[in-house]
Structure 1
Amino acid sequence: MPALQRYRELAPDVTLDITLTDRNVDFVEEGFDIAIRIGELPDSRLIARHLAPYRMMICASPDYLTRHGNPEHPSELSGHETIGFTPAARSPWRLSKGKDEVEVVLKMSITVNSGQAVRMAARAGLGVIMQPSILLTSDTQAGLLVRLFPDWHLHERPMSLIYHRDRRMTPRLRSIISFAIAEFGAEPEGQAYRPAE
Protein backbone atom coordinates (compact mmCIF):
# COMPACT_ATOMS: atom_id res chain seq x y z
CA MET A 1 0.00 0.00 0.00
CA PRO A 2 2.89 2.49 0.34
CA ALA A 3 3.12 2.52 -3.47
CA LEU A 4 -0.55 3.53 -3.66
CA GLN A 5 0.11 6.42 -1.31
CA ARG A 6 2.91 7.64 -3.59
CA TYR A 7 0.66 7.32 -6.65
CA ARG A 8 -2.18 9.21 -4.93
CA GLU A 9 0.25 12.05 -4.20
CA LEU A 10 1.20 12.18 -7.90
CA ALA A 11 -2.34 11.78 -9.24
CA PRO A 12 -4.87 12.86 -6.59
CA ASP A 13 -7.66 13.23 -9.19
CA VAL A 14 -7.55 9.53 -10.15
CA THR A 15 -10.06 7.30 -8.36
CA LEU A 16 -8.77 3.82 -7.62
CA ASP A 17 -11.04 0.78 -7.28
CA ILE A 18 -8.76 -2.04 -6.14
CA THR A 19 -9.55 -5.74 -5.98
CA LEU A 20 -7.12 -8.04 -4.16
CA THR A 21 -7.63 -11.70 -4.95
CA ASP A 22 -5.73 -14.93 -5.49
CA ARG A 23 -8.34 -16.28 -7.87
CA ASN A 24 -7.78 -16.14 -11.61
CA VAL A 25 -10.27 -13.47 -12.69
CA ASP A 26 -11.56 -12.94 -16.20
CA PHE A 27 -9.78 -9.66 -16.71
CA VAL A 28 -11.86 -8.49 -19.68
CA GLU A 29 -15.31 -9.78 -18.60
CA GLU A 30 -15.02 -8.29 -15.10
CA GLY A 31 -14.04 -4.87 -16.47
CA PHE A 32 -10.61 -4.31 -14.97
CA ASP A 33 -8.50 -1.53 -16.53
CA ILE A 34 -5.21 -3.07 -15.44
CA ALA A 35 -4.01 -5.95 -13.32
CA ILE A 36 -0.75 -7.19 -11.89
CA ARG A 37 -0.39 -10.91 -12.48
CA ILE A 38 2.18 -13.31 -11.13
CA GLY A 39 3.18 -16.31 -13.23
CA GLU A 40 2.84 -17.19 -16.89
CA LEU A 41 0.18 -15.38 -18.92
CA PRO A 42 -2.01 -17.52 -21.17
CA ASP A 43 -4.45 -14.84 -22.42
CA SER A 44 -3.41 -13.51 -25.85
CA ARG A 45 -6.08 -10.75 -25.77
CA LEU A 46 -3.94 -8.85 -23.30
CA ILE A 47 -0.84 -6.71 -23.50
CA ALA A 48 1.71 -7.45 -20.80
CA ARG A 49 4.43 -5.16 -19.49
CA HIS A 50 7.19 -7.03 -17.70
CA LEU A 51 7.85 -5.99 -14.13
CA ALA A 52 10.61 -7.15 -11.80
CA PRO A 53 10.35 -10.86 -10.98
CA TYR A 54 8.21 -11.88 -8.00
CA ARG A 55 10.85 -12.93 -5.47
CA MET A 56 10.44 -14.63 -2.13
CA MET A 57 12.25 -13.94 1.14
CA ILE A 58 12.56 -15.89 4.41
CA CYS A 59 12.30 -13.76 7.55
CA ALA A 60 11.69 -13.80 11.28
CA SER A 61 11.47 -11.10 13.93
CA PRO A 62 14.52 -10.16 16.03
CA ASP A 63 12.56 -11.25 19.12
CA TYR A 64 11.84 -14.69 17.64
CA LEU A 65 15.51 -15.16 16.70
CA THR A 66 16.64 -14.12 20.20
CA ARG A 67 14.34 -16.74 21.73
CA HIS A 68 14.87 -19.58 19.21
CA GLY A 69 18.27 -18.90 17.66
CA ASN A 70 19.25 -17.82 14.18
CA PRO A 71 19.39 -20.75 11.73
CA GLU A 72 22.68 -20.77 9.82
CA HIS A 73 21.59 -23.21 7.09
CA PRO A 74 18.15 -23.76 5.51
CA SER A 75 18.14 -27.39 6.71
CA GLU A 76 17.90 -26.05 10.28
CA LEU A 77 14.43 -24.64 9.58
CA SER A 78 12.80 -27.97 10.42
CA GLY A 79 13.47 -27.22 14.10
CA HIS A 80 11.76 -23.83 13.99
CA GLU A 81 8.21 -22.54 14.32
CA THR A 82 6.99 -21.67 10.83
CA ILE A 83 4.00 -19.74 9.56
CA GLY A 84 2.62 -20.55 6.13
CA PHE A 85 0.35 -18.96 3.57
CA THR A 86 -2.53 -21.31 2.73
CA PRO A 87 -2.68 -23.32 0.42
CA ALA A 88 1.04 -23.00 -0.45
CA ALA A 89 1.90 -23.86 3.16
CA ARG A 90 1.96 -27.55 2.25
CA SER A 91 4.70 -27.07 -0.36
CA PRO A 92 8.35 -27.56 0.59
CA TRP A 93 10.64 -24.54 0.67
CA ARG A 94 13.28 -24.86 -2.07
CA LEU A 95 16.51 -22.90 -1.89
CA SER A 96 19.67 -22.98 -3.97
CA LYS A 97 23.15 -21.54 -3.62
CA GLY A 98 25.53 -22.27 -6.44
CA LYS A 99 25.32 -26.03 -6.97
CA ASP A 100 23.77 -26.68 -3.55
CA GLU A 101 20.03 -27.25 -3.50
CA VAL A 102 17.97 -27.71 -0.37
CA GLU A 103 14.33 -28.72 -0.10
CA VAL A 104 12.90 -28.26 3.37
CA VAL A 105 9.61 -29.92 4.26
CA LEU A 106 8.08 -28.05 7.17
CA LYS A 107 5.22 -28.68 9.53
CA MET A 108 3.61 -25.28 9.81
CA SER A 109 2.79 -24.11 13.33
CA ILE A 110 0.27 -21.65 11.90
CA THR A 111 -1.33 -21.38 8.46
CA VAL A 112 -3.18 -18.28 7.30
CA ASN A 113 -4.96 -17.36 4.05
CA SER A 114 -3.71 -13.75 4.08
CA GLY A 115 -0.17 -12.66 3.23
CA GLN A 116 -0.52 -9.62 5.47
CA ALA A 117 -1.62 -11.83 8.39
CA VAL A 118 1.42 -14.09 7.84
CA ARG A 119 3.62 -10.98 7.89
CA MET A 120 2.00 -9.65 11.07
CA ALA A 121 2.37 -13.03 12.79
CA ALA A 122 6.09 -13.00 12.01
CA ARG A 123 6.42 -9.44 13.28
CA ALA A 124 4.72 -10.60 16.50
CA GLY A 125 7.47 -13.20 16.95
CA LEU A 126 5.37 -16.28 16.19
CA GLY A 127 7.76 -17.89 13.71
CA VAL A 128 9.69 -17.93 10.45
CA ILE A 129 7.93 -17.02 7.19
CA MET A 130 8.54 -17.14 3.46
CA GLN A 131 6.70 -14.32 1.73
CA PRO A 132 7.21 -12.07 -1.30
CA SER A 133 10.04 -9.60 -0.87
CA ILE A 134 7.69 -6.86 -2.07
CA LEU A 135 5.71 -7.38 1.18
CA LEU A 136 8.70 -7.70 3.50
CA THR A 137 11.38 -5.27 2.32
CA SER A 138 10.05 -2.29 4.29
CA ASP A 139 9.96 -4.44 7.46
CA THR A 140 13.54 -5.66 6.98
CA GLN A 141 14.73 -2.10 6.31
CA ALA A 142 12.96 -0.92 9.49
CA GLY A 143 14.46 -3.76 11.57
CA LEU A 144 11.06 -5.30 12.29
CA LEU A 145 12.03 -8.50 10.47
CA VAL A 146 15.42 -10.08 9.78
CA ARG A 147 16.08 -11.68 6.42
CA LEU A 148 17.43 -15.22 6.72
CA PHE A 149 19.73 -16.88 4.17
CA PRO A 150 20.28 -13.79 1.97
CA ASP A 151 22.91 -15.68 -0.05
CA TRP A 152 20.43 -18.40 -1.00
CA HIS A 153 18.17 -18.13 -4.05
CA LEU A 154 14.45 -18.81 -3.68
CA HIS A 155 12.00 -19.57 -6.46
CA GLU A 156 10.87 -16.52 -8.41
CA ARG A 157 8.08 -16.08 -10.93
CA PRO A 158 7.46 -13.53 -13.65
CA MET A 159 5.31 -10.54 -12.68
CA SER A 160 3.49 -8.49 -15.30
CA LEU A 161 1.19 -5.53 -15.54
CA ILE A 162 -1.56 -6.38 -18.03
CA TYR A 163 -4.33 -4.57 -19.84
CA HIS A 164 -6.61 -5.23 -22.79
CA ARG A 165 -5.10 -4.48 -26.19
CA ASP A 166 -8.31 -2.71 -27.32
CA ARG A 167 -8.53 -0.53 -24.21
CA ARG A 168 -8.47 3.21 -24.97
CA MET A 169 -5.24 4.61 -23.54
CA THR A 170 -6.47 7.56 -21.47
CA PRO A 171 -4.01 9.86 -19.67
CA ARG A 172 -5.13 8.38 -16.33
CA LEU A 173 -4.57 4.81 -17.53
CA ARG A 174 -1.20 5.77 -18.98
CA SER A 175 -0.22 7.41 -15.67
CA ILE A 176 -0.91 4.30 -13.56
CA ILE A 177 0.88 2.06 -16.09
CA SER A 178 3.95 4.33 -16.10
CA PHE A 179 3.91 4.56 -12.31
CA ALA A 180 3.63 0.77 -11.84
CA ILE A 181 6.53 0.14 -14.21
CA ALA A 182 8.69 2.70 -12.42
CA GLU A 183 7.67 1.39 -8.97
CA PHE A 184 7.85 -2.36 -9.55
CA GLY A 185 10.70 -2.66 -11.99
CA ALA A 186 11.18 -1.89 -15.63
CA GLU A 187 11.27 -4.52 -18.30
CA PRO A 188 14.24 -5.28 -20.54
CA GLU A 189 14.76 -2.81 -23.38
CA GLY A 190 12.90 -3.74 -26.55
CA GLN A 191 10.21 -5.60 -24.63
CA ALA A 192 8.00 -2.61 -23.79
CA TYR A 193 4.87 -4.04 -25.34
CA ARG A 194 4.33 -7.69 -26.06
CA PRO A 195 1.21 -9.74 -26.41
CA ALA A 196 0.68 -12.12 -23.53
CA GLU A 197 1.25 -15.68 -24.62
Structure 2
Amino acid sequence: MLKIEGIAAFVAVAEAGSISEAARRLRLSKSVISERVADLERSLNATLLHRTTRKLTLTEDGIAFRERAVRISEVEAAASDLAERRGTLTGPLRIAAPVSFGRLHLGPALYPFLAAHPEIELTLDLDDRRVDVASEGYDAIVRHGVIADSRLVVWKLAKSRRLLVASPDYLAGHGTPASLAELNDHRGIFYTNRGAADWRFEGPTGSTVIRARLALRINNGDMIHDAAVAGLGIALLPTFICGPAVRDGRLREIDVGFRPEPEFIYMAHPEGRRPSAKLRAMADHLKKAFGDPPHWDP
Protein backbone atom coordinates (compact mmCIF):
# COMPACT_ATOMS: atom_id res chain seq x y z
CA MET A 1 0.00 0.00 0.00
CA LEU A 2 1.34 3.41 -0.96
CA LYS A 3 1.91 5.88 1.86
CA ILE A 4 1.16 9.59 1.42
CA GLU A 5 4.34 10.61 3.25
CA GLY A 6 6.44 8.54 0.83
CA ILE A 7 4.81 10.18 -2.17
CA ALA A 8 5.27 13.63 -0.62
CA ALA A 9 8.96 12.87 0.02
CA PHE A 10 9.48 11.76 -3.60
CA VAL A 11 7.76 14.87 -4.97
CA ALA A 12 9.89 17.08 -2.71
CA VAL A 13 13.10 15.37 -3.90
CA ALA A 14 12.03 15.66 -7.54
CA GLU A 15 11.29 19.38 -7.15
CA ALA A 16 14.37 20.18 -5.05
CA GLY A 17 16.84 18.12 -7.07
CA SER A 18 18.47 16.67 -3.95
CA ILE A 19 17.58 14.76 -0.82
CA SER A 20 19.32 17.37 1.34
CA GLU A 21 17.22 20.24 -0.01
CA ALA A 22 14.02 18.18 0.18
CA ALA A 23 14.80 17.37 3.82
CA ARG A 24 15.29 21.07 4.56
CA ARG A 25 11.99 22.01 2.96
CA LEU A 26 10.05 19.28 4.76
CA ARG A 27 11.95 19.87 8.02
CA LEU A 28 12.95 16.20 8.23
CA SER A 29 16.31 14.44 8.36
CA LYS A 30 17.95 13.20 5.17
CA SER A 31 17.76 9.64 6.44
CA VAL A 32 13.97 9.89 6.88
CA ILE A 33 13.54 11.25 3.34
CA SER A 34 15.78 8.53 1.89
CA GLU A 35 13.92 5.78 3.75
CA ARG A 36 10.50 7.08 2.68
CA VAL A 37 11.55 7.22 -0.98
CA ALA A 38 13.13 3.76 -0.75
CA ASP A 39 9.95 2.38 0.83
CA LEU A 40 7.90 3.92 -2.00
CA GLU A 41 10.17 2.33 -4.60
CA ARG A 42 9.77 -1.06 -2.91
CA SER A 43 5.98 -0.68 -2.89
CA LEU A 44 5.99 0.20 -6.59
CA ASN A 45 8.68 -2.36 -7.45
CA ALA A 46 10.33 0.37 -9.52
CA THR A 47 13.37 2.64 -9.38
CA LEU A 48 12.25 6.28 -9.38
CA LEU A 49 15.56 8.05 -8.78
CA HIS A 50 18.96 7.54 -10.32
CA ARG A 51 21.57 8.39 -7.69
CA THR A 52 25.24 9.16 -8.29
CA THR A 53 27.87 10.81 -6.08
CA ARG A 54 27.39 14.11 -7.92
CA LYS A 55 23.71 14.40 -8.77
CA LEU A 56 20.26 12.89 -8.56
CA THR A 57 17.95 12.49 -11.56
CA LEU A 58 14.57 10.93 -12.25
CA THR A 59 14.40 7.63 -14.10
CA GLU A 60 11.83 7.12 -16.86
CA ASP A 61 9.56 5.49 -14.28
CA GLY A 62 10.19 8.42 -11.94
CA ILE A 63 9.23 10.97 -14.60
CA ALA A 64 6.02 9.09 -15.38
CA PHE A 65 5.12 8.62 -11.71
CA ARG A 66 5.82 12.23 -10.81
CA GLU A 67 3.00 13.53 -13.05
CA ARG A 68 0.40 11.72 -10.96
CA ALA A 69 2.31 11.90 -7.67
CA VAL A 70 2.12 15.68 -7.63
CA ARG A 71 -1.67 15.45 -7.54
CA ILE A 72 -1.69 12.79 -4.84
CA SER A 73 0.74 14.76 -2.69
CA GLU A 74 -1.74 17.64 -2.63
CA VAL A 75 -3.98 15.68 -0.25
CA GLU A 76 -2.43 17.51 2.73
CA ALA A 77 -3.14 20.84 1.05
CA ALA A 78 -6.70 19.72 0.39
CA ALA A 79 -7.14 18.90 4.09
CA SER A 80 -5.90 22.40 4.94
CA ASP A 81 -8.38 23.87 2.48
CA LEU A 82 -11.24 22.05 4.18
CA ALA A 83 -10.16 23.40 7.56
CA GLU A 84 -9.92 26.90 6.08
CA ARG A 85 -13.47 26.59 4.75
CA ARG A 86 -14.54 26.13 8.36
CA GLY A 87 -12.74 29.33 9.33
CA THR A 88 -9.47 27.87 10.63
CA LEU A 89 -6.21 28.83 8.93
CA THR A 90 -3.94 25.83 9.25
CA GLY A 91 -1.04 23.93 7.74
CA PRO A 92 2.43 24.68 6.34
CA LEU A 93 3.36 27.87 4.52
CA ARG A 94 6.79 28.66 3.05
CA ILE A 95 7.74 32.26 2.21
CA ALA A 96 10.99 33.91 1.05
CA ALA A 97 11.76 37.58 1.73
CA PRO A 98 14.73 39.98 1.62
CA VAL A 99 16.91 40.21 4.72
CA SER A 100 16.68 43.91 5.63
CA PHE A 101 12.96 44.31 4.98
CA GLY A 102 12.24 41.00 6.70
CA ARG A 103 14.08 42.02 9.86
CA LEU A 104 12.87 45.62 10.00
CA HIS A 105 9.23 45.41 8.92
CA LEU A 106 8.00 42.00 7.74
CA GLY A 107 8.72 40.21 11.01
CA PRO A 108 7.01 42.79 13.26
CA ALA A 109 3.97 42.74 10.95
CA LEU A 110 3.81 38.94 10.86
CA TYR A 111 4.06 38.19 14.57
CA PRO A 112 0.51 39.34 15.46
CA PHE A 113 -0.88 37.42 12.47
CA LEU A 114 0.86 34.20 13.53
CA ALA A 115 -0.26 34.68 17.14
CA ALA A 116 -3.86 34.99 15.93
CA HIS A 117 -3.54 31.84 13.78
CA PRO A 118 -1.37 29.42 15.80
CA GLU A 119 -2.10 26.43 13.54
CA ILE A 120 -0.21 27.97 10.60
CA GLU A 121 3.26 26.41 10.30
CA LEU A 122 5.28 29.22 8.68
CA THR A 123 8.78 28.77 7.31
CA LEU A 124 10.29 32.18 6.50
CA ASP A 125 13.57 32.22 4.55
CA LEU A 126 15.36 35.59 4.51
CA ASP A 127 17.61 35.86 1.46
CA ASP A 128 18.48 38.85 -0.72
CA ARG A 129 19.03 36.79 -3.86
CA ARG A 130 16.23 36.50 -6.41
CA VAL A 131 14.79 33.10 -5.54
CA ASP A 132 12.73 31.09 -8.03
CA VAL A 133 9.44 30.74 -6.18
CA ALA A 134 8.17 27.78 -8.21
CA SER A 135 11.24 25.58 -8.60
CA GLU A 136 12.47 26.15 -5.03
CA GLY A 137 9.21 25.08 -3.44
CA TYR A 138 7.93 28.37 -2.00
CA ASP A 139 4.25 29.21 -1.66
CA ALA A 140 5.10 32.86 -2.28
CA ILE A 141 7.84 35.47 -2.06
CA VAL A 142 7.82 38.95 -0.56
CA ARG A 143 10.01 41.30 -2.55
CA HIS A 144 10.94 44.95 -2.99
CA GLY A 145 11.51 46.51 -6.40
CA VAL A 146 10.29 46.07 -9.93
CA ILE A 147 8.35 43.00 -11.02
CA ALA A 148 10.21 41.19 -13.79
CA ASP A 149 8.98 37.56 -13.76
CA SER A 150 5.82 37.24 -15.88
CA ARG A 151 5.19 33.74 -14.50
CA LEU A 152 4.19 35.23 -11.16
CA VAL A 153 0.85 36.53 -9.90
CA VAL A 154 1.60 39.69 -7.94
CA TRP A 155 -0.22 41.32 -5.03
CA LYS A 156 1.02 44.82 -4.16
CA LEU A 157 1.41 45.24 -0.41
CA ALA A 158 2.78 48.79 -0.17
CA LYS A 159 4.31 51.59 -2.19
CA SER A 160 8.04 52.03 -1.84
CA ARG A 161 10.05 55.23 -2.22
CA ARG A 162 13.79 55.31 -2.68
CA LEU A 163 15.85 58.35 -1.71
CA LEU A 164 19.25 59.46 -2.94
CA VAL A 165 21.18 60.01 0.31
CA ALA A 166 24.63 60.75 1.68
CA SER A 167 26.12 61.72 5.02
CA PRO A 168 26.66 65.39 5.94
CA ASP A 169 30.43 64.72 6.08
CA TYR A 170 30.49 63.30 2.55
CA LEU A 171 28.51 66.22 1.13
CA ALA A 172 30.72 68.73 2.97
CA GLY A 173 33.83 67.17 1.44
CA HIS A 174 32.59 66.42 -2.08
CA GLY A 175 29.78 68.90 -2.64
CA THR A 176 26.07 68.27 -3.15
CA PRO A 177 25.08 67.23 -6.70
CA ALA A 178 22.19 69.26 -8.12
CA SER A 179 21.56 67.34 -11.36
CA LEU A 180 21.69 63.82 -12.76
CA ALA A 181 24.81 64.72 -14.74
CA GLU A 182 26.66 65.79 -11.60
CA LEU A 183 26.04 62.37 -10.04
CA ASN A 184 28.51 60.84 -12.50
CA ASP A 185 31.38 62.60 -10.70
CA HIS A 186 30.44 61.25 -7.27
CA ARG A 187 31.22 58.02 -5.47
CA GLY A 188 28.32 55.56 -5.42
CA ILE A 189 27.42 52.68 -3.11
CA PHE A 190 25.52 50.07 -5.12
CA TYR A 191 23.32 47.06 -4.39
CA THR A 192 24.78 44.10 -6.29
CA ASN A 193 21.54 42.14 -6.62
CA ARG A 194 20.17 44.84 -8.91
CA GLY A 195 23.06 44.73 -11.35
CA ALA A 196 24.80 47.70 -12.93
CA ALA A 197 21.60 49.68 -13.65
CA ASP A 198 20.62 50.22 -10.03
CA TRP A 199 20.13 54.00 -10.19
CA ARG A 200 17.15 54.59 -12.46
CA PHE A 201 15.34 57.93 -12.51
CA GLU A 202 12.14 59.12 -14.18
CA GLY A 203 13.39 61.52 -16.84
CA PRO A 204 11.49 63.73 -19.30
CA THR A 205 12.06 61.21 -22.10
CA GLY A 206 11.68 58.05 -20.03
CA SER A 207 13.96 56.08 -17.75
CA THR A 208 17.46 57.45 -17.19
CA VAL A 209 20.24 55.25 -15.79
CA ILE A 210 23.05 56.88 -13.81
CA ARG A 211 26.34 55.12 -13.08
CA ALA A 212 28.37 57.03 -10.52
CA ARG A 213 31.98 56.14 -9.78
CA LEU A 214 32.14 52.92 -7.80
CA ALA A 215 32.93 53.29 -4.12
CA LEU A 216 31.46 50.01 -2.91
CA ARG A 217 29.15 47.22 -4.05
CA ILE A 218 27.27 45.22 -1.41
CA ASN A 219 24.50 42.61 -1.51
CA ASN A 220 22.79 43.83 1.68
CA GLY A 221 20.73 46.98 2.22
CA ASP A 222 21.67 47.42 5.89
CA MET A 223 25.35 47.55 5.02
CA ILE A 224 24.73 50.03 2.20
CA HIS A 225 23.00 52.21 4.79
CA ASP A 226 25.94 51.87 7.19
CA ALA A 227 28.47 52.65 4.46
CA ALA A 228 26.55 55.80 3.49
CA VAL A 229 26.36 56.94 7.13
CA ALA A 230 30.13 56.34 7.37
CA GLY A 231 30.63 58.82 4.51
CA LEU A 232 31.86 56.44 1.80
CA GLY A 233 29.57 57.82 -0.90
CA ILE A 234 26.04 58.36 -2.18
CA ALA A 235 23.44 55.59 -1.97
CA LEU A 236 19.96 55.08 -3.38
CA LEU A 237 18.05 53.51 -0.50
CA PRO A 238 14.40 52.63 0.19
CA THR A 239 12.83 54.65 2.96
CA PHE A 240 12.13 51.49 4.95
CA ILE A 241 15.91 51.33 5.50
CA CYS A 242 17.08 54.96 5.47
CA GLY A 243 14.03 56.68 7.02
CA PRO A 244 15.34 56.86 10.62
CA ALA A 245 18.75 58.15 9.50
CA VAL A 246 17.11 60.85 7.36
CA ARG A 247 14.89 61.91 10.26
CA ASP A 248 17.77 62.22 12.73
CA GLY A 249 20.19 63.87 10.31
CA ARG A 250 22.75 61.08 9.88
CA LEU A 251 21.80 61.02 6.19
CA ARG A 252 20.56 63.84 3.99
CA GLU A 253 18.29 63.49 0.98
CA ILE A 254 19.81 64.78 -2.27
CA ASP A 255 17.50 66.51 -4.76
CA VAL A 256 18.73 66.24 -8.36
CA GLY A 257 15.45 67.34 -9.94
CA PHE A 258 14.23 63.83 -10.81
CA ARG A 259 12.69 61.05 -8.75
CA PRO A 260 13.90 57.44 -8.70
CA GLU A 261 11.60 55.06 -10.56
CA PRO A 262 8.62 53.98 -8.38
CA GLU A 263 8.76 50.55 -6.79
CA PHE A 264 6.62 48.37 -4.55
CA ILE A 265 6.69 45.90 -1.71
CA TYR A 266 4.82 42.95 -3.18
CA MET A 267 3.92 39.32 -2.60
CA ALA A 268 4.01 36.98 -5.59
CA HIS A 269 3.02 33.36 -6.11
CA PRO A 270 3.43 31.04 -9.13
CA GLU A 271 0.98 31.47 -11.97
CA GLY A 272 -1.48 28.61 -12.28
CA ARG A 273 -1.24 27.62 -8.62
CA ARG A 274 -4.32 28.48 -6.57
CA PRO A 275 -3.23 30.45 -3.49
CA SER A 276 -4.44 29.09 -0.17
CA ALA A 277 -6.78 30.97 2.12
CA LYS A 278 -3.97 31.43 4.65
CA LEU A 279 -1.72 33.02 2.02
CA ARG A 280 -4.49 35.44 0.98
CA ALA A 281 -5.22 36.24 4.64
CA MET A 282 -1.53 36.91 5.27
CA ALA A 283 -1.30 39.26 2.29
CA ASP A 284 -4.39 41.19 3.44
CA HIS A 285 -2.96 41.48 6.94
CA LEU A 286 0.42 42.74 5.70
CA LYS A 287 -1.19 45.33 3.45
CA LYS A 288 -3.14 46.77 6.39
CA ALA A 289 -0.14 46.57 8.74
CA PHE A 290 2.17 48.44 6.33
CA GLY A 291 -0.39 51.18 5.60
CA ASP A 292 -0.88 53.59 2.72
CA PRO A 293 1.37 55.53 2.76
CA PRO A 294 3.54 52.99 4.57
CA HIS A 295 4.40 53.77 8.18
CA TRP A 296 8.16 53.77 7.52
CA ASP A 297 8.10 56.79 5.19
CA PRO A 298 9.81 59.84 6.73
Could you tell me the TM-score, scaled by structure 1's length? 0.71
CA displacement, residues 21-73 of structure 1 (integer Å, 9 cap, x when unaligned) = 32241x23433233124413412xx5421234554321111222233222222
Contact kept in structure 1, 2:161 and 2:239, CA below 8 Å: yes
Equivalent residue for 1:7, pick from 110, 121, 146: 110
Alpha carbons of structure 1 residues 29 and 80: separation in structure 2 relative to 1, 3 Å: closer
Q: Quick one: distance in 2 between partners of 1:79 and 1:30?
A: 41
* SS of equivalent to 1:111: strand
* SS of equivalent to 2:277: coil
Match of 1:21 in 2: 128
Alpha carbons of structure 1 residues 59 and 158: separation in structure 2 relative to 1, 3 Å: same
Q: Quick one: distance in 1 between partners of 2:234 and 2:227?
A: 9
* SS of equivalent to 1:139: helix
Q: Quick one: distance in 2 between partners of 1:96 and 1:122?
A: 23
Q: Quick one: distance in 1 between partners of 2:201 and 2:275?
A: 40
Q: Which has the higher contact order (CA 8 A, sep 6+)?
A: 1
- Between Structure 1 and Structure 2, the one with more helix by share is 2
RMSD: 3.2
Q: Quick one: distance in 2 between partners of 1:59 and 1:76?
A: 14
* SS of equivalent to 1:108: strand
Match of 1:122 in 2: 228
Equivalent residue for 1:95, pick from 187, 198, 201: 201
Contact kept in structure 1, 2:179 and 2:256, CA below 8 Å: no
AA matched with 2:110: Y
Contact kept in structure 1, 2:187 and 2:212, CA below 8 Å: no
Query: How many angstroms does 1:139 deviate by?
Result: 2.6
Contact kept in structure 1, 2:199 and 2:210, CA below 8 Å: yes
Contact kept in structure 2, 1:74 and 1:149, CA below 8 Å: no
* SS of equivalent to 1:176: helix
- How do 1:35-114 and structure 2 match up within 5 A? 35-37=141-143, 38-43=146-151, 47-86=153-192, 88=194, 90-91=196-197, 93-96=199-202, 103-114=209-220
Q: Quick one: distance in 2 between partners of 1:181 and 1:123?
A: 30
* SS of equivalent to 1:137: helix
Query: How many angstroms does 1:99 deviate by?
Result: 6.7
| Consecutive unaligned residues in structure 1, runs of 5 or more | 187-197
Higher Cα Rg: structure 1 or 2?
Answer: 2
Contact kept in structure 2, 1:119 and 1:136, CA below 8 Å: yes
Match of 2:93 in 1: none
Could you tell me the TM-score, scaled by structure 2's length? 0.50
Q: Quick one: distance in 2 between partners of 1:50 and 1:113?
A: 24
Contact kept in structure 2, 1:58 and 1:149, CA below 8 Å: yes
Q: Quick one: distance in 2 between partners of 1:174 and 1:84?
A: 34
* SS of equivalent to 1:40: coil
Q: Quick one: distance in 2 between partners of 1:180 and 1:144?
A: 29
AA matched with 2:189: I
Contact kept in structure 2, 1:61 and 1:124, CA below 8 Å: yes
Q: Does structure 1 residue 180 correspond to structure 2 residue 286?
A: yes
Match of 2:4 in 1: none
Identity score, percent: 23
Alpha carbons of structure 1 residues 16 and 124: separation in structure 2 relative to 1, 3 Å: farther
AA matched with 2:181: S
Q: Quick one: distance in 1 between partners of 2:230 and 2:283?
A: 35
- How do 1:149-188 and structure 2 match up within 5 A? 149=255, 151-157=257-263, 159-163=265-269, 165-170=273-278, 173-184=279-290
